[in-house]
């Protein structure tokens, strides 16, 4: 039985490899085209059209503008309701930097994996979809689509991010974006200073208090901010001041702990300075990534079978935040990393150039094959998907 399975796998791997090889030039063209026409969060209209119409040519049905976002799309193939696999296509670029996060590569990988898998298994075996998720960089897209039930029909979601490393997962930080606002009382700074209550000084006091707590932060706690409003003229005591902060921690509980410290710093400063303070949370909180160990192990197994060695690095190295975190709490989710080169980090112009290099083009073929094989095993290995779903307890 094991031997039979192995032989079956080998045949299938070869079949999928041939399909991906045949698709690769078109996927590379797609990736380069997206990089040449970058669109920032919620403006990904052209990107949506280019990706979804590519899939339409491979037999996928299309819905554009789903889940309350105009630039999203769902392209799906297959008549079966289950197993239902959602490949995630991130689409947005960074303001002024273009595709410096490599989402041109990510989306080409997902589109390639879905098209190859659909061709290999036919239309009766599964529901295979690509979901175009806008606005990853602002942490906005996936939470909105989740709220609108776009992922309800799916058993698993998966994508691979362009990277300098090859990994089956990496941890992520919970994130909250907050505005800290102080309201004071304006007065002439020279003639009637005693009438004023200085909102800027109150804000600076709260910032200094936050900084004085840094030495006691738990590992991975982060509080990074800028002053966005500090008054209008030196001869007016500022009646309004504002800072914009990103707070991060490795768990939601620790994020709440950090938030409580920030509240104490802010409201304590308000009390001391006779001002009023407010903290406004912006957008959606981002969740830490929940690793489904069985699903990650399945992906690692595919890498092993293809003799693709994972980078020997802790999954806690270089971690940030992404809205895929929230999706990972909803259903078993893979967010893997496919190497596209080594000489640049994400969110730099160097990485944008790397993401259209020949090594990135090879990365697209690799990522598409690995994700397609992962999907294939979910469809054809009895019980595996059940185990993965049963073990999902975020």
Burial class (CB in 10 A: 0-12, 13-18, 19+), 185: middle
Q: How far is the CB of 81 from Zn ion (least distance, A)?
A: 31
Residues in the chain: 394
Shorter beta-carbon distance to Zn ion: residue 9 or 177: 177
Q: Are strands 174-183 and 240-249 parallel, antiparallel or unpaired?
A: antiparallel
Distance CA 166, CA 186 (A): 56
Q: How far is the CB of 193 from Zn ion (least distance, A)?
A: 46
CA dihedral 291, 294, 296, 300 (to 10 degrees): 160
Shorter beta-carbon distance to Zn ion: residue 201 or 336: 336
Q: Phi and psi at residue 271, in whole multiples of 5°?
A: -65, -45
Shorter beta-carbon distance to Zn ion: residue 101 or 270: 101
3-state SS of 304-329 is HHCCCCCCCCCCCCCCCCCCHHHHHH
Q: How far is the CB of 162 from Zn ion (least distance, A)?
A: 8
3-state secondary structure of 144: helix
Q: How far is the CB of 314 from Zn ion (least distance, A)?
A: 20
**Residue sitting closest to Zn ion (CB):** 101
Give the x/- contact pattern for Zn ion in 264-303, rule: CB under 5 A: ----------------------------------------
3-state secondary structure of 180: strand
Shorter beta-carbon distance to Zn ion: residue 137 or 242: 137
Touching Zn ion, residues 62-101 (CB under 5 A): 101
Shorter beta-carbon distance to Zn ion: residue 105 or 388: 105
Shorter beta-carbon distance to Zn ion: residue 101 or 204: 101
Distance CA 276, CA 287 (A): 30
Question: 61 pairs with which residues across the strands?
Answer: 76
154 in Cβ contact with 106 (< 8 Å): no
Distance CA 265, CA 249 (A): 18
332 in Cβ contact with 155 (< 8 Å): yes
Shorter beta-carbon distance to Zn ion: residue 173 or 269: 173
Q: How far is the CB of 59 from Zn ion (least distance, A)?
A: 28
Q: How far is the CB of 102 from Zn ion (least distance, A)?
A: 7
Give the x/- contact pattern for Zn ion in 98-117, rule: CB under 5 A: ---x----------------
Size of the site for Zn ion (CB under 5 A): 1
**CA separation (Å) from 278 to 201, 267, 289?**
15, 8, 30
Q: How far is the CB of 173 from Zn ion (least distance, A)?
A: 14
Shorter beta-carbon distance to Zn ion: residue 127 or 335: 335
Give the x/- contact pattern for Zn ion in 343-372, rule: CB under 5 A: ------------------------------
Q: How far is the CB of 175 from Zn ion (least distance, A)?
A: 13
Q: Which residues form the interface with Zn ion (CB under 5 A)?
A: 101
């Amino acid at each position: 039985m094991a031997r039979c399975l192995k032989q079956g796998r080998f045949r299938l791997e070869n079949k999928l490899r041939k399909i991906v090889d045949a698709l690769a030039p078109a996927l590379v063209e797609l990736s380069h085209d997206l990089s040449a026409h970058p669109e920032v969060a919620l403006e990904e209209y052209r990107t949506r059209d280019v990706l979804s119409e590519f899939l339409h040519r491979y037999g996928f049905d299309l819905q554009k503008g789903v889940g309350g976002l105009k630039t999203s799309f769902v392209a799906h193939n297959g008549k079966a309701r289950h197993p239902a696999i959602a490949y995630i296509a991130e689409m947005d670029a960074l303001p002024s930097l273009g595709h410096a996060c490599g989402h041109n590569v990510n989306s080409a990988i997902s589109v390639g994996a879905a098209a190859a898998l659909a061709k290999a298994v036919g239309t009766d075996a599964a529901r295979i979809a690509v979901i175009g998720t806008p606005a990853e960089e602002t942490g906005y897209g996936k939470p909105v689509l989740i709220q609108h039930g776009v992922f309800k029909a799916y058993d698993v979601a998966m994508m691979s991010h362009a990277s300098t490393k090859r990994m089956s997962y990496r941890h992520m930080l919970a994130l909250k974006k907050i505005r800290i606002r102080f309201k004071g009382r304006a007065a002439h700074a020279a003639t009637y200073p005693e009438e004023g209550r200085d909102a800027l000084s109150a804000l600076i006091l709260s910032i200094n208090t936050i900084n004085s707590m840094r030495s006691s932060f738990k590992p991975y706690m982060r509080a990074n901010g800028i002053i966005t409003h500090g008054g209008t003229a030196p001869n007016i005591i500022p009646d309004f001041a504002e800072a914009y902060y990103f707070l991060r921690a490795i768990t939601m509980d620790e994020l709440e702990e950090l938030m409580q410290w920030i509240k104490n710093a802010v409201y304590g400063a308000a009390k001391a300075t006779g001002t009023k303070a407010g903290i406004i949370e912006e957008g959606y909180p981002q969740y830490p990534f929940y690793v489904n160990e069985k699903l990650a192990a399945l992906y690692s197994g595919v890498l092993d079978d293809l003799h693709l060695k994972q980078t020997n690095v802790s999954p806690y190295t270089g971690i940030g935040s992404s809205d895929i975190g929230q999706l990972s709490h909803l259903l078993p989710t893979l967010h893997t990393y496919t190497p596209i080169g080594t000489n640049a980090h994400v969110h730099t112009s160097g990485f944008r150039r790397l993401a259209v290099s020949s090594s990135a083009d090879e990365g697209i073929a690799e990522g598409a094959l690995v994700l397609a094989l992962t999907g294939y095993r979910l469809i054809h290995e009895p019980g595996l998907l059940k185990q993965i779903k049963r073990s999902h307890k975020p």
